[in-house]
Structures are given as C-alpha cells and as structure tokens.
Amino acid sequence: MADFGVKIACDPVYGVTAPACLVRRSTDQLKGKYSMAQEIERKYLVDTKLWRPLAAGLLYRQGYLSSVNERVVRVRIAADRGFLTIKGVTTGLCRLEFEYPIPREDAAVLLDKLCERPLIEKTRHREVFDGRTWEIDVFHGDNDGLVIAEIEVASPTEAIARPPWAGAEVSNDPRYFNSNLVAHPYKSWGGKRA
C-alpha cells in the first residue's frame, strides 16, 4: 500500500517541501513509476491585513486544456519546470489527481497555443504554521486581489490549527477553484466574496 499521509519532506521534482503524497508521486515518477493519489485539501481566504510573505514566492503560470467538472487538465510552469496535471471530479474535499513533469518548453507551447484564456498567474508562498506547510497563492492579472491559502489534509475530517490570517473557508465554493477562475475571473465578481 502506498503511503499518502500528509508528512512534510523534500520533493525531488519541486525542490521544496511538500506533502508526502506529492513527494511519493514525484519520487515514483523519477523512477518511471506512476501512482494514483487522492488530493484532499482545504482552502481559506487570506486576510491580507494579517499576512505578509515571509520570503519571495515562486511564480506560477498555468492554463487549462479542459476545465469541465468531470476532468480538469492543467498545464503549469512553476519557475523553470513544466507539469501536466489531471484532476477528477471534486467530491466534498477530495478528488483524484495525477501530476507529471513535462519539458518546460512543451508547457510553454501548450500554455501559449492550446490553453483556455485567460491564463492563471499567481505567486505561491509556502509557510509553516503549527508544524504544517500552508501554500498561499497571491493571484495576478484578471484575478488580482485574490489571496487563497491551501493545506493538504489526510482526511476531510482532520482537525487543523488555522493561522490567524486564514479567514473564511472556501473549500466547497467552486468559484475559488483555479479552473473556474478562467471563465469567471475574480475581477468580474464585483467584490462579492465568501
């Protein structure tokens, strides 16, 4: 049985700390093996009056080849690395997720020529609170002003300590799914938040 528990470790693909479920997949990918993982994450709006980045983040540029509910196919460039990710339908906080490294040049062509518009651009920050790594995304472009924090959990009922800057939970609000921000960017919401 594969261990998809949430433990923090060094990820050989991303080169940063990441949940063990992602590390396991990345390590297996480097060995030519691919394993299925279930993504379970909670999302929160960030109170920007209480949160400031502790360090420079990593610029992400991503787009979607498919953004239908049954299957989301994402292309991403994170710094100098390309990734192709396939996600299944979200049920509660859970969904299947498969992620594969691809050449950065291929990712750039897919983003520029094939992905739906607008692309999602954001800066991702990773910060540890109460021994857990949180990912804080500061969106740019059509989604400027939106800041969301995510944390991977082992189960939908796992209790977590929330940082003071983690505001309203939006885990079950599809408006905050990155794939939905393409068709309905944050700037078009007229200031309506959770």
- Supply the residues annotated as catalytic: 64
Enter the tokens of residue 139: 């969106």
Any bridge partners for residue 125, and if so which?
136
Strand pairing report for 81-88 and 71-78: antiparallel
Enter the tokens of residue 11: 């990820």
Is the Cβ–Cβ distance between 5 and 24 less than 8 Å?
no
Is the Cβ–Cβ distance between 126 and 133 less than 8 Å?
yes
